[in-house]
């Protein structure tokens, strides 16, 4: 009976193969984890400076008038002068019973300043009357408290009144002063329609009372006496 011989080289080779096989089997059962990709931290975007849109200058709101374009009205009989808007109509020696006076001068607001609004008529009246033994304080319907109003050369007393009737409103602004025993009354009447009485589908806009009031005040500021007042005939 013959015995098999094992040579050292064969043993070494078999050993190495078993080691390699063991390593392969181990890796197959325990795969090496793939490292997660490293994501760089997010950075906030750099804010852009705000974009400033160029501003188009808006034209000033239209005004009733400016004193630079006004005319001079001189009344030699009543000894006064006043500036008035050039587009106003002047009526001399006209009936002023609507204002509670006899006669005087009237400045009528033009239609183009009333168009599209509920203002029916606007007018300014100036009257001279004998003061007698009384005072020259204006008296109006539903008037507000009297206030003093000073120009560089004249002191006035002023008030406002408000009357209504049959869907109409009558707002009056009055100034009065005294000179040499005579009263000088400067009144503005603004007659408008009740805005609620108009058809909603064709309703005009409310007229700008403040604008007309400011215009009248500017007129009063230009009022001045001329010469020496004489008794009325």
With respect to residue 51, please indicate whether it lies within any of the assigned structural domains.
Answer: no
* 8 Å CB contact between 123 and 192: no
R_g of the chain computed on alpha carbons: 48
User: What pLDDT score was predicted for residue 37?
Assistant: 60
- Whole-angstrom Cα distance, residue 80 to residue 158? 19
- Whole-angstrom Cα distance, residue 84 to residue 65? 9
Element (H, E) at 212: helix 209-222
Query: CB-hemisphere CA count at 13 Å for 21?
Result: 6
With respect to residue 77, please indicate whether it lies within any of the assigned structural domains.
Answer: yes
Q: What is the pLDDT of residues 92-132, one digit of tens each?
A: 999 999 898 999 999 999 999 999 999 999 999 999 999 98
With respect to residue 31, please indicate whether it lies within any of the assigned structural domains.
Answer: no
With respect to residue 187, please indicate whether it lies within any of the assigned structural domains.
Answer: yes
With respect to residue 26, please indicate whether it lies within any of the assigned structural domains.
Answer: no
Looking at the DSSP bridge assignments, the partners of residue 183 are 129, 178
Identify the domain containing residue 78 by its residue range: 70-225
Write the CATH number for 120: 3.40.1000.10
With respect to residue 114, please indicate whether it lies within any of the assigned structural domains.
Answer: yes
With respect to residue 154, please indicate whether it lies within any of the assigned structural domains.
Answer: yes
In percent, how much of the chain has pLDDT > 90?
60
Instruction: Give strand ranges (E) for the chain.
Output: 71-75, 80-84, 89-95, 103-108, 119-130, 147-150, 155-165, 168-179, 182-193, 224-225
Q: How confident is the model at residue 17 (pLDDT cuts 50, 70, 90)?
A: confident
More confidently predicted of 28 and 144: 144
Query: With 70 as the cut, is the pLDDT of residue 38 above it?
Result: no
134 by Cβ neighbours in 10 Å (0-12 / 13-18 / 19+) ranks as exposed
Out of 51-65, 141-155, 186-200, pick the least confident. Answer: 51-65
Token code pair at residue 41: 């931290």
User: What pLDDT score was predicted for residue 139?
Assistant: 86
With respect to residue 39, please indicate whether it lies within any of the assigned structural domains.
Answer: no
Query: With 50 as the cut, is the pLDDT of residue 61 above it?
Result: no
- Whole-angstrom Cα distance, residue 122 to residue 199? 23
* 8 Å CB contact between 141 and 160: no
Domain count, the chain: 1
Mark 182-193 as b/e (b = at least 16 C-beta within 10 Å). bbbbbbbbbbbb
């Amino acid at each position: 009976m013959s015995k098999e011989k094992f040579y050292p080289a064969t043993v070494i080779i078999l050993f190495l193969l078993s080691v390699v096989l063991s390593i392969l089997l181990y890796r197959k059962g325990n795969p090496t984890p793939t490292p997660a990709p490293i994501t760089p931290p997010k950075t906030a975007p750099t804010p852009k400076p705000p974009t400033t849109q160029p501003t188009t200058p808006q034209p000033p709101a239209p005004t009733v008038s400016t004193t630079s374009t006004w005319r001079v009205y001189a009344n030699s009989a009543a000894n006064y002068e006043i500036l008035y808007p050039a587009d106003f109509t002047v009526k001399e020696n006209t009936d002023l019973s609507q204002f509670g006076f006899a006669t005087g001068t009237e400045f009528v607001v033009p239609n183009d300043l009333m168009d599209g609004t509920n203002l029916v008529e606007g007018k300014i009246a100036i009257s001279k009357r004998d003061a007698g033994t009384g005072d020259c304080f204006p008296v109006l319907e539903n008037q507000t408290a009297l206030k003093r109003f000073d120009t560089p050369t004249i002191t006035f007393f002023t008030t406002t009144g408000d009357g209504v009737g049959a869907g109409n409103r009558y707002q009056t602004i009055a100034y009065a002063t005294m000179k040499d025993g005579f009263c000088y009354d400067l009144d503005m009447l603004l007659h408008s329609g009740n805005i609620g009485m108009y058809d909603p589908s064709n309703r005009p806009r409310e007229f700008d009372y403040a604008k007309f009031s400011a215009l009248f005040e500017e007129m009063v500021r230009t009022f001045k006496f001329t010469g020496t007042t004489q008794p009325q005939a």
